[in-house]
Amino acid sequence: MLENIIDLGSIIIADIVLSGDNALIIGMAAAGLAPELRKKAILYGMVVAALLRIIFAVVATKLLGIPGLLLIGAMLLYWVCWTLYKEIKAHTDQRAAEALAVADDPEDGYTGAPKRTLGQALLAITIADVSMSLDNVLAVAAIADGNTNKLIFGLVLAIVLMAFAATMIMKLLTRYPWISWLGLVVLIYVATEMLYRGIFDETNGILAYLRAAGVG
């Protein structure tokens, strides 16, 4: 029971601290729209970002069960940690909060006639979401460790947070940067555990794969 609670908490923390780049892109894209279109664009962008995380994470969970890929996943997750570290240092969460605030203010940002349709803006946000959601996939899938129910439960909650509380989350991370640092520590721990299992796990570790292949 305690392990499940810790895992779900880790999934939620990872999803929150890794959402800064998504929020920044969505906020900047929405701020360039006419005021009457912004709320729709922000809501759409947040929901799509969350749904993409679920789809990608389920796929990644299945792939990480293949011998050898767990080790590769650990290396990629270390890269995610490095990316998050750079985002924390660059105050990405603060910039995202500012971008979302501008987009939410009908008298700020672009206020002229629409330069493009809502559909065009949503397409651009979707493309950005695809590229910006990939870093979340490995983190969430690694923490869930093959448990699809745990994965879906944690990410459904993340959808609610992202779709309806994105601005509040970015302000929270800006005011309390230790949350982002905590998330980074959690991800480093998960990556290290994955690295260990990727080498020594009796089922999916690279050593088990080599033994099965008759090497060593």
Nearest to 136 by CA among 81, 194, 212: 81
Indicate yes or no: pTM above 0.95. no
**Rounded Cα–Cα distance for residues 25 and 22 (Å):** 5
Q: Using CA atoms, how far apart are residues 153 and 171, in angstroms rounded to an integer?
A: 25
* Contact partners, residue 207, CB within 8 Å, separation at least 6: 199, 200, 216
* Of 51 and 107, the one with more pLDDT: 51
- In the numeric block, which tokens belong to residue 212? 């099965």
* Cβ-proximal residues to 39 (8 Å cutoff; 6+ apart), any chain: 104
Mean pLDDT for 50-69 is 74
If you average pLDDT over residues 154-180, what whole number do you get? 78
Tokens 């999803």 belong to residue: 15
**pLDDT band at residue 119 under the 50/70/90 scheme:** confident
